[in-house]
Structures are given as C-alpha cells and as structure tokens.
C-alpha cells in the first residue's frame, strides 16, 4: 500500500511539471509566430511605403534630376509640376469627372445594396433564396465578358459615352458585392428593436432608414471603402463604354497622358499626376480605416 501511495504521489508531482513545460512550449511558439508575423508586416510596409515616398519626392523634381539622381532629394522643389499636370494634361477635368461618377455610383449602390440586403436578410418570402444566390452569382461573372453586350445595350438606350451610363454600369457591377457584404450585418441585428419601432408607430420605410440602417453603420462604412477603391480604380469599363474625351475619368486620362508623351516625357508632371490620383484614396482610407477592423464578415445564407 505504501508503494502504491508513493507512486501516486510521484505521478502527481510530475503532472504540474509536464503542464508547465507544455505552457512554456506554447508561449515560445506564440512568440516565434508573433516575431515572424511582425517581420513580414514590416517587410510588406517597406515594400509599399518606399515606392510611394519615391513617387512623392519625384513629383517635385525635374526630368533631368529624376534620371540623373533618382533617389536624391530635389535641388529645387518644383510645385509647378502639379500645375502642369492639372492643366496641361487636363488631370483636373478628369479628376472632376471621376468624382462625379464615383460619388453618384457609390451613393446609389450603397442605397440599393443596403435595401436589397435588408429585405433578403429580414423578411421571408417565396424566391428569397433564389434571388440571394442569383445576386451571389454576379460576383463570379467576369467584367470583360459583359463589355460587348453592355456596349450595345447602352447604345440602344442612348447612354453610351455619357456619365449616367457609366454610373449605372458601376452600380450594376458593385451591387452583388454590396448585398453580399451587408447581408450578414442585417441578419445579425436584433429583431426586438425592429418590433419596438413598429409598436411605436414607425412604418417599414421609417424603421429601415431611422432604426436598422444606423445600426449597420460599421458594415456600411467598410463596404463603402471597398466600393470606393474599386470604382475609383476602374479602368476597363470606362475605356470600353466612355470614349468621349471630355467625359474621361481619371484612369483614362492617366493612361492617355502616360502614352502620349512617347520620347519627350515630363516625368515630374507624370509623377505629380500619379500623386493626385492616389491622394483621394489614401484620404478616404485613413479616415475610415477603423471601420474596416471587425467589420469584415462572410455573408452566409441562413
């Protein structure tokens, strides 16, 4: 009996020791993973930030300075490069066209996408599942396959080479992603709040705009950023459907400006035009970046 008791005591003494070793191994593994993750993030930040800073500095230099000393600071900071890009290359006109098209398309797609996601997430009706999966299938449809049908469709409606035609096209292609993203947000909202709004006398429209939509604000902000980035950088659709130079958007103007100079390239003005193109995206992202954290969720049908 004394031998059995001694064995049990020794086993109980060994158990905390093994637990401590396991805990140390887990902590050591977590530290190595964190160190590797931070190293990769630092490397990725350098890869992204250094070219951006180089473009920014080069936008204040002359072509000769860029070619002779590409990594040196400019002897004279040439702010006139931005004026040349804004006026001579018509970047200002293209910038205004982009703002009009993207802002209008973003407003429409956020409104329609939120309404569509809300209906599919909160109400039961025949065909609800079919509509959801048809909208979801729109995410898998390549843009370039729709270029030719879109061209003739807009031509038949008299919307080819017009801002409204481009706005509607942007809305159509961004709507499935918006609905897919917002579906889970409206699905997770408490039903008691909606019922309380109805008891207080609010109709369906008022309950949506004044109660449910503000509660989905984090998701709305996150999807608005993603849509803005996608629409602002859109190139294929404007090139195919918007050939009127007076209505070109910024991506078309940048491509034309870069290719038109051929052998006599004003690199300073070109880099200034690039900075003008990138700055709105950075501003929007920096303002709303906190909304993205914790807002990305998968829209699963339930």
CA distances to 53, 74, 79, 232 from 56, rounded to whole Å, are: 5, 11, 11, 20
Which token pair is 129?
């599942």
pLDDT for the residue 165: 93
Judge whether 257 and 91 are in contact, CB under 8 Å. Answer: yes
**Rounded-to-integer distance, Cα 255 and Cα 246, Å:** 15
| pLDDT tens digits, 106-141 | 999 999 999 999 999 888 888 888 988 888 888 888
CA distances to 67, 98, 100, 222 from 272, rounded to whole Å, are: 16, 17, 22, 29
Closest-CA residue to 169 (of 116, 223, 109, 245): 109
pLDDT for the residue 189: 82
Residue 290 has pLDDT above 80, yes or no: no
**Rounded-to-integer distance, Cα 47 and Cα 40, Å:** 10
**Rounded-to-integer distance, Cα 32 and Cα 40, Å:** 12
Residues 67-72: what's their mean pLDDT?
Answer: 86
| pLDDT tens digits, 20-64 | 666 776 667 778 888 888 899 999 989 988 998 999 999 999 888
**Rounded-to-integer distance, Cα 32 and Cα 43, Å:** 16
pLDDT for the residue 42: 92
pLDDT band at 14 (very low <50, low <70, confident <90, very high): low
Judge whether 297 and 226 are in contact, CB under 8 Å. Answer: no
Residue 274 has pLDDT above 60, yes or no: yes
Residue 254 has pLDDT above 70, yes or no: yes
**Rounded-to-integer distance, Cα 250 and Cα 86, Å:** 11
Q: How far from chain centre, in Å, is Cα 53?
A: 22
pLDDT for the residue 169: 93
**Rounded-to-integer distance, Cα 274 and Cα 55, Å:** 8
């Amino acid at each position: 009996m004394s031998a059995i008791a001694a064995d049990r005591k020794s086993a109980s003494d060994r158990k905390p020791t093994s637990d401590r070793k396991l805990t140390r191994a887990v902590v050591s593994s977590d530290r190595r993973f964190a160190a590797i993750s931070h190293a990769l993030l630092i490397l990725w930040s350098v890869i992204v930030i250094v070219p951006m800073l180089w473009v920014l500095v080069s936008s204040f230099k002359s072509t000769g300075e860029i070619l002779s000393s590409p990594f040196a600071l400019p002897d004279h900071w040439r702010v006139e490069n931005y004026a040349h890009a804004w006026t001579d290359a018509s970047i200002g006109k293209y910038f205004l066209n982009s703002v009009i098209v993207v802002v209008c398309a973003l407003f429409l797609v956020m409104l329609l996408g939120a309404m569509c996601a809300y209906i599919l997430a909160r109400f039961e009706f025949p065909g609800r599942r079919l509509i959801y999966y048809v909208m979801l299938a729109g995410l898998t449809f390549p843009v370039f396959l729709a270029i030719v049908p879109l061209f003739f469709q807009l031509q038949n409606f008299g919307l080819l080479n017009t801002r409204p035609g481009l706005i509607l096209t942007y809305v159509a292609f961004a709507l499935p992603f918006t609905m897919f993203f917002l579906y889970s947000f409206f699905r997770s909202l408490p039903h008691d709040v909606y019922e309380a709004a109805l008891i207080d006398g609010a109709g369906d429209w008022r309950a949506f705009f004044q109660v449910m939509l503000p509660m989905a604000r984090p998701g709305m902000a996150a999807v608005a950023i993603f849509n803005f980035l996608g629409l602002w950088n859109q190139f294929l659709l404007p090139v195919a459907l918007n050939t009127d130079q007076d209505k070109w958007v910024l991506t078309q103007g940048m491509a034309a400006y870069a290719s038109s100079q051929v052998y006599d390239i004003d690199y300073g003005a070109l880099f200034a035009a690039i900075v003008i193109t990138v700055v709105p995206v950075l501003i929007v992202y920096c303002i709303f970046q906190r909304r993205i954290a914790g807002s990305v969720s998968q829209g699963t049908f339930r």
